[in-house]
Amino acid sequence: MKRKLNPYAPADFNCDNCQKEFKNAVAYSPDLNPDQLTETYCISCVDRRTLKANTGRDTIFSARVKKE
């Protein structure tokens, strides 16, 4: 089951997917307690995850992945 990612107020964090450092940016996390975020993702990685879930593609330019 996919976990819902919740947006949290701008903060400083490292994205757990792309490993980039963000300053004062919106963090997305499946965690419910904003004071104890153990997983954080940036908007770019959230958009890619949503795109993959909806289309089977990693980017808008990649070929659709066949589901078996």
For residue 46, the surrounding DSSP H or E stretch is: helix 43-55
pLDDT for the residue numbered 51 = 52
Number of folded domains in the chain? 1
pLDDT for the residue numbered 15 = 92
Decide if 33 is inside a domain: yes
Task: Categorise residue 13: left if φ over 0, alpha if ψ from -120 to 50, beta otherwise.
Answer: beta
Decide if 63 is inside a domain: no
Q: Tens digit of pLDDT per residue, the chain (68 long)?
A: 367 888 999 999 999 888 999 999 999 998 999 889 999 999 988 887 765 665 565 544 444 445 55
Decide if 65 is inside a domain: no
pTM score over 0.85? no
Pick the closest to residue 52 from 23, 6, 60, 25 (CA basis).
60
Give me the count of residues in the chain.
Answer: 68
Domain ranges, residue 38: 6-55
Decide if 25 is inside a domain: yes
Decide if 64 is inside a domain: no
